[in-house]
Amino acid sequence: MLCELRCSIAVRTSTTSAAIKSLLELLNHHNKEEKNFIIKIGEKLFHSSQDVSAGIWAYGYTKRVSLVIKNDAMHHNFEEFSKAADAEMQLQNKKILSNERVITVLNSCNDPQRNANCLVFFSGMREVGEILEGASENAGRKRRQVTKEIEYHHKWLDGVVNYIFNDSTSQTVRKCFLKAAEAWQKETCITFTQGKADTGYLVVNDEGVYYSHVGRLGDEQPISLDRSTCTEEIGRAIHEIGHALGLYHTQSRYDRDSYLNVNLLKIKEPYRVEFGIIPENETDLYEAKYDYGSIMHYAAVIEDPAMIPNDKKYLRTMGSQMFSFTDLWLINEFYGCHEKCKQGPHLECDNGGFPHARKCNEECTCPSGYGGKQCKIRPEQCGDERNATDKWQYLDIDIKNSIGSEEYAKCYYWIRSPPGTVIEVKIAQMSEFSAEGCWKAGVEIKTNKDQTLTGYRFCSEDDEETEILRSHSHLVPIIAYNKKFFTFMAKLQYRFVDAAKQTGV
């Protein structure tokens, strides 16, 4: 249903505005009268009639109420602000306003491409029909680099994330949150601890939608998962926790336009802000390159995409529900996990890998398709190694998930060729497992030059028309994966050619 989505918003504030400074100060110093007034404004945010054009964020209906305004032109007193809220707020879903729920609101700025101070980033996963112009209400689902330490976007102190569950949160959502938190904890130096903390804590809600704030707020902080999908689509829970740890959407990187063409005319006006760009001075990329396969990247609608990668073969890669190597690199760097390893004995890793945050001297965190203690060998799951010749050969892939839909079954293949050659791969046949981000099942072919980045993913019969892929080296890792009980099949062809005669893609 359209509009039936609550989401937490990362609001960019201008610290030079006296009005904003005074309002921010009220967050910690408001008296009872002011608090009640803010509560009334929070109610109005859900029942007024127009679109908001200055970013407003209010939450905490009975336990904690906070207000952030992010536009220099915003009004200087609560009376004017209240009138503005009445006049400008879009009608929101009334069922979410209750004494037991956190209020979250927002909408748009007029031109997110030009006005950096007017960016509001929604972390909830929306229905495509909500966002795209002309999309049907039954359209399929669609799917941040790291924030700097600025007001309202803090790191979790010492990498410890405290959390509690709302009393009404279902056991399903509790299990999903714990599983997603464990996934982050396993691959980083982040620790999740149940219980409140004076420095801030997450409150895990079961709101029927996905949302999270970006970074640590410093107080009670809501995060919500959807019980109906989170068990099978655990990547969506991992995505929301990624926001809470400080990650922005990948397509909001300041260098986005060098990798992605975004057609705002295909996006409904209230949601165009979700595709705005975060200024360079508010994020830190830690030299991480743009990764279409990041778990923080929105998916594209294949039939009529609003986002088209410059390299169109990455179209189905966007919208992944699996960690990318870049996601792990960013969080490990942001929280100083790499530096901790450097201070003691640690492994030297090949192929762009880095010492594992919890096992610095025992194993490396490797890019997809690489394994072993130092990322030197093929991962030890199913699959095999093949030697290419100058004639086309077939690689038949047949993978079924027998471990349950909460986990991916994976097989790894390496195609090798002699020095001085590169490898060509083409798709002969492909099962029809079409899904945005190929999250159900698919094959990832890593002919890309930078092997730390996610490769090209395919999962549809339509991909049989894909142009021949050419490597930049004499090794191509191929990863087949499946999260469904149905068998995924693909037939690939491969051969080597003289590197001097090929430019590579």
Average of per-residue pLDDT values in the chain: 76
pLDDT at 121: 29
Is pLDDT above 60 for 314? yes
The tens digit of pLDDT for each residue in 124-180 reads 444 434 555 544 333 332 223 555 544 445 899 999 999 999 999 999 999 999 999
Q: Cα(383)–Cα(397) distance, rounded to whole angstroms?
A: 9
- Identify the band that residue 282 occupies on the pLDDT scale cut at 50, 70 and 90: confident
Find out whether 338 is annotated in a ligand binding site.
Answer: no
Interior/surface letters 219-242, b for 16+ CB within 10 angstroms, e for the rest? bbbbbbbbbebbbbbbbbbbbbbb
Find out whether 153 is annotated in a ligand binding site.
Answer: no
Helix (H) or strand (E) holding 479: strand 475-482
pLDDT at 37: 53
| Contact status, residue 187 vs residue 323, Cβ threshold 8 Å | yes
The upper half-sphere exposure of residue 7, i.e. CA atoms within 13 Å in the direction of its Cβ, equals 22
- Identify the band that residue 258 occupies on the pLDDT scale cut at 50, 70 and 90: very high
pLDDT at 39: 47
Q: Cα(381)–Cα(404) distance, rounded to whole angstroms?
A: 17
Find out whether 239 is annotated in a ligand binding site.
Answer: yes
**Which domains are delineated in the chain?**
1-107 (no CATH), 345-377 (2.10.25), 385-501 (2.60.120.290)
Q: Cα(78)–Cα(80) distance, rounded to whole angstroms?
A: 5
Tell how strand 385-387 and strand 475-482 pair up.
unpaired
Is pLDDT above 60 for 14? no
The DSSP call for residue 468 is P
Tokens representing 153 are: 């976007």
Q: Cα(103)–Cα(46) distance, rounded to whole angstroms?
A: 9
pLDDT at 207: 86
Residue type, 241: I
Q: Cα(56)–Cα(344) distance, rounded to whole angstroms?
A: 46
Between 144-148, 431-435, 442-446, the lowest mean confidence (pLDDT) is in 144-148
Mean pLDDT of 448-453: 97
Identify which of 81-90, 250-259, 361-370, 406-415 has the greatest average pLDDT.
361-370
pLDDT at 26: 42
Q: Which of the residues are catalytic? A: 240
- DSSP secondary structure letters along 378-400: --SSB--EEE--SS-EEEEEEE-
The tens digit of pLDDT for each residue in 31-87 reads 555 545 544 554 444 333 233 322 333 333 222 233 333 333 333 444 444 444 444
More confident residue, 282 or 67: 282
pLDDT at 280: 84
Name, in order, each residue with C-beta under 8 angstroms of 315's C-beta and a sequence gap of 6 or more.
300, 302, 305, 308, 309
Mean pLDDT of 428-437: 88
pLDDT at 486: 87
| Contact status, residue 412 vs residue 479, Cβ threshold 8 Å | yes
26 phi and psi angles, rounded to 5 deg: -65, -25
Residue indicated by tokens 């929604």: 122
- Identify the band that residue 469 occupies on the pLDDT scale cut at 50, 70 and 90: very high
Q: What are residue 154's DSSP bridge partners?
A: 216
Mean pLDDT of 108-116: 32
Exposed, middle or buried by CB within 10 Å (0-12, 13-18, 19+), for 311? middle
More confident residue, 109 or 437: 437
| Contact status, residue 484 vs residue 399, Cβ threshold 8 Å | no
